[in-house]
Amino acid sequence: MGGQRGSDALDPVIFDLLEALTPPGFELTCRDDRVEELPSGDGFAIVAMSVETYAAARAWELARRYRAEGCVLVAGGHHVSVCPDEAARHVDTVVIGDAEDTWATLLRDHAAGCRQPVYRSDMSAPLTAVPHRTGRERGQHHRYLPLAIVETSRGCRNACEFCSIHALYGGRLRRKPLDELARELRTVRARTVFIADDNLHQDDEQFFATLDVLRQSGKRWCCQISLDILASERHLRALRESGCFLVLTGFESLNPANLKEMRKTSNLQTAGSDSPEAAYRRIVERVHAHGLLIYATFILGYDHDDPSSFTETGRFAQEAGFAMANFNSLMPMPGTALYRRLVAAGRLPDPEWWLDPDFRYGDVAYEPAQMTAAELAAGCYRLRLDFNRLGSILHRLRTVRRASFSARLIQLGANLVSRHSIHRKQGRRLSAVPADTDSRSPCASS
């Protein structure tokens, strides 16, 4: 971002996945632009990039560089899947959707001289074990944080308006068979695992069976999970007994009108006739009583938010004693229902904000209803700074008395990383240099 490389990256699961899917006869070299210098294109037949929206401008810079060196360019990943027409302006082949049923076919077609301009996944290929290797085993020189990423399923049962996951997968839910999950966990060397499912709970049968596999693995782990599950003593007890030490969940807003507008039905149902804040406090107390830490996420800038929302949200987050928290301004990610609504209402001045050379990390891309874009950006920045003050970090370390010593060490390290990241990323370009004027293309209808 902005020409900076970080030292706090997690090992991307895409490398292990592509290595497992690459057929015999092909040599794969994996490099991570976030943390290391990229090699020249000499000697590479194909340069393939996995692209997310915040990295799109940087990806198209790299595409121009590698095209000038004579490489065939392939792009996939989330952003490419929802904006394939944009990607097609910069690369030779676009992969829409998952790699399981596209990557090997693409490589074989290339070798046979019949590579296609588009490969589209039907999103139904089985999820199988992905053998884990370290960066050094892949020939990388960077040392990633000691936290392995594992998927047990793909998709989410919720349909939040702002969610880019729902934009890609819709209502599809796929699970990794339990024997495949157990086999994968045996290849993970890290003691601590992040379960990267968008929502670990799809149904009770799947949930408890997955926890049993995690318990047998002996790993210490954390996950993303919807708030309604954390209201259940039975589910909390099972999480704790299976090795979970932290849950990441979306509180999103204290305002029920905002929750309704964002279609956060699990939060509304959990609150019932009570106020969201009162329901949230009961859940937080229950989660903490089980010795579990909470990483809370909030979204600021929905139409019922005004400048007072920053004070209310910040107060609640501090009083709740969350291990970590993220205060995000509402971001209209391409492909989402939110994006389409704001475009239709004329509230998205630049429908391709991610390609604007003047856009900076932390900026607001749309026109809020009850404050200015600058007020929203500044309010979220202040919340992040205040929550990650050293005094706040030390105070929150003492909140969950039943948390293990190792969990507290992880909490301290994660907070210090977050504190550093705020200062490093705020106000940075999304790319190393301004994008060329011909790099922009219609995406609003994707």
Rg, the chain, Cα only = 22
Amino acid making up residue 80: V
pLDDT at 446 over 80: no
Tell me the per-residue pLDDT of 353-409, one tens digit each, with 9 for 90 and over: 999 999 999 999 999 999 999 999 999 999 999 999 999 999 999 999 889 999 999
Domain assignments of the chain as residue spans, ordered by start: 13-125, 147-425
Distances (CA, A) of 120 to 19, 23, 102, 243, 339: 20, 19, 7, 38, 23
DSSP 77: S
Greater confidence (225 vs 445) lies with 225
Quick check: helix, strand or coil at residue 147?
Answer: strand
Q: Rounded distance, CA 372 to CA 301, Å?
A: 10
DSSP 426: T
The beta-strand segments (E) located in 291-348 are 293-300, 324-329
pLDDT for res 143: 83
Amino acid making up residue 169: Y
**Which CATH number applies to 147-425?**
3.80.30.20
Q: Residue 246's beta-bridge partner residues?
A: 222, 293
Question: What average pLDDT does this structure show over 51-80?
Answer: 96
287: pLDDT confidence band, cut at 50, 70 and 90?
very high
pLDDT for res 308: 97
Cβ neighbour number for residue 445 with a 10 Å cutoff: 8
pLDDT for res 106: 98
- Tell me if 13-125 shares its fold with 147-425: no
Amino acid making up residue 238: A
**β-strand pairing of 153-154 with 174-175:** antiparallel
Furthest-apart CA pair in the chain: how many Å? 64
Question: What average pLDDT does this structure show over 141-154?
Answer: 91
Question: What average pLDDT does this structure show over 329-355?
Answer: 96
Cβ neighbour number for residue 405 with a 10 Å cutoff: 7
Tell me the per-residue pLDDT of 112-143, one tens digit each, with 9 for 90 and over: 999 999 999 999 999 999 999 988 888 888 88
Max mean pLDDT among 95-104, 271-280, 420-429 falls in 95-104
Sequence length of the chain is 446
Q: Both tokens of residue 418?
A: 């977050």
433: pLDDT confidence band, cut at 50, 70 and 90?
low
Packing angle of the helix pair 373-387, 308-320 (nearest 10 deg) = 20
Give the CATH architecture of domain 13-125.
Answer: 3-Layer(aba) Sandwich (3.40)
pLDDT for res 159: 87
Residue 153: its H or E element: strand 153-154
φ and ψ at residue 307, rounded to 5 degrees: -55, -25
